[in-house]
Amino acid sequence: ATPTPQAYRASLLHFHADPAFSEQAHAWHEDGLLIIADGKVQAAGDYAQLHASLPPGSVVEDHRGKLILPGFIDTHVHFPQTDMIASPAPGLLPWLETYTFPTERQFADPAHARDVADFFLDELLRCGTTTAMVYCTVHPASVDAFFAASEARQLRMVAGKVMMDRNCPEFLRDTAEGGARDTEDLIQRWHKRGRALYAITPRFAPTSTPAQLALAGELARAYPDTYLQTHVAENEDECQWVKSLFPNARSYLDVYDHYGMLRPRAMYGHCIWLSERDRERMAETQSAAAVCPSSNLFLGSGLFDFERADAARVPLSLATDVGGGTSFSMLQTMNEAYKVARMKGSYLPAMRMFYLATLGAARGMQLEGTIGNFAAGAEADFIVLDPKATPLLARRTARCNSLEELLFALALLGDDRAVAVTFAAGRRVHQRAA
């Protein structure tokens, strides 16, 4: 039987191109209609044109006065660090030693891992994030716990077991061979099961031996449709450390290049201290950058250079990097991204930031057509944003004279409170309390 479509009426915004490089990159329907059938987008457009196509007796859920957008995509976040968000330390390396490693140790307990995964996913949904690229811990059971929690909510999530076999506490250490074996088991168990996708996840070059990086690269070649995620060029002390550990590499990124880890579906967190040649290599290999402004400001890591990245055509996305990041909200992440761009003398329009948090991320993950916009057949992950969510937002947005001004106010002033409803695979998975 044909499923009964669900229909949602509101202003509709989504993208089919990058506004930085294309004149007409977005579609905006002031009085719009989104029609969902069987968890997929059937149609998106003007209410006046589309409502006649609904079968008689269809119910239209009315969200007029609000905006419907594709769910946000956070391309770099650590679910085990949920309970240590907002822990102070003078920079990345002391922060890892003091808070991160002891916190991640607790994930040896699968029940703890499941408890944190449940909270983490509900928090993402409260913030309107429907897809994320997620680091688990070194414990394979932390991945099982995460994907089980994600499957229970029918979410499109990418995640992987952290691989690290040196320069970390004994209690969080795997081995090159053991880490690769566990990774391969997890790929077989979870990759493409329902909406789950697996990411090969060496933490970063300093915590992997050359042998482990070589095995990670081999897995990336053997399973080309899996993801790969790691950190690169986040902090100057870290870059010095990598230089001393890999004296023959041309650069930090070149360490990964050497081991065959630059490829489509590879997501590199931070990318602050890169050279021109590094940016060219990322663009050539279609490796994507996950820009993490709230984390970079919080840890004092540095300021991402949007202008140079765009000039080289590096695939870009935005990410929270919680617990280094200080908010789960992609709106708050845009707020910080905007200020980082200003500090580097460049300018990020709100339209671009909303693109980066939706279709831009989907493209960086090679998932255009599946998530990130309302193309017919795309998975129905979407959010309803309320421009009157707080007294200040209501007052400010009442005075906006353009779509750009409205999106900008939402990005700078909004957070989880601005997300009225979140849908995943056509199902309501969060509704803000009235």
Residue 139 touches ligand GUN, criterion: CB under 6 A: no
- Minimum distance from CB of 187 to Zn ion (Å)? 21
Closest CA to 158 of 216, 218, 200: 200
Q: What is the CA radius of gyration of the chain?
A: 21
State the binding string over 236-275 for ligand GUN (x if CB under 6 A, else -): ----------------------------------------
Closest CA to 214 of 200, 225, 227: 200
CA 377 to chain centre: 22
Give me the count of residues in the chain: 434
Q: How many CB atoms lie within 10 A of CB 155?
A: 24
Q: Candidates 3-11, 217-225, 262-270, 336-344 — which segment interacts with Zn ion by CB under 5 A?
A: 262-270
Q: Which of residues 4-23 bind ligand GUN (CB under 6 A)?
A: none
- Minimum distance from CB of 92 to ligand GUN (Å)? 6
Nearer to Zn ion, 80 or 426 (CB): 80
Q: Which of residues 93-122 bind ligand GUN (CB under 6 A)?
A: 96, 100
Residue 321 touches Zn ion, criterion: CB under 5 A: yes
Residue 157 touches ligand GUN, criterion: CB under 6 A: no
Q: Candidates 61-69, 92-100, 116-124, 125-133 — which segment interacts with ligand GUN by CB under 6 A?
A: 92-100
Q: Which residue has the tokens 């499923």?
A: 3
Long-range pairs for 427-432: beta carbons < 8 A, 24 or more residues apart: 427/39, 427/154, 429/125, 429/130, 429/153, 429/154, 429/155, 430/122, 430/125, 430/126, 432/126, 432/386, 432/389
Among 92, 124, 213, 429, binds ligand GUN (CB under 6 A): 92
Q: How many CA atoms lie within 13 A of 35 on its CB side?
A: 19
Give the amino acid at 393: L
Residue 174 touches Zn ion, criterion: CB under 5 A: no
d(CA 240, CA 231): 15
State the binding string over 200-219 for ligand GUN (x if CB under 6 A, else -): ---xx---------------
**For the packed helices 403-413 and 330-343, what is the interaxial angle rounded to 10 degrees?**
100
- Number of residue whose CB is nearest ligand GUN: 324
- Minimum distance from CB of 231 to Zn ion (Å)? 6
Contact residues for Zn ion (CB under 5 A)? 269, 321
Contact residues for ligand GUN (CB under 6 A)? 78, 92, 96, 100, 203-204, 231, 234, 295, 321, 324
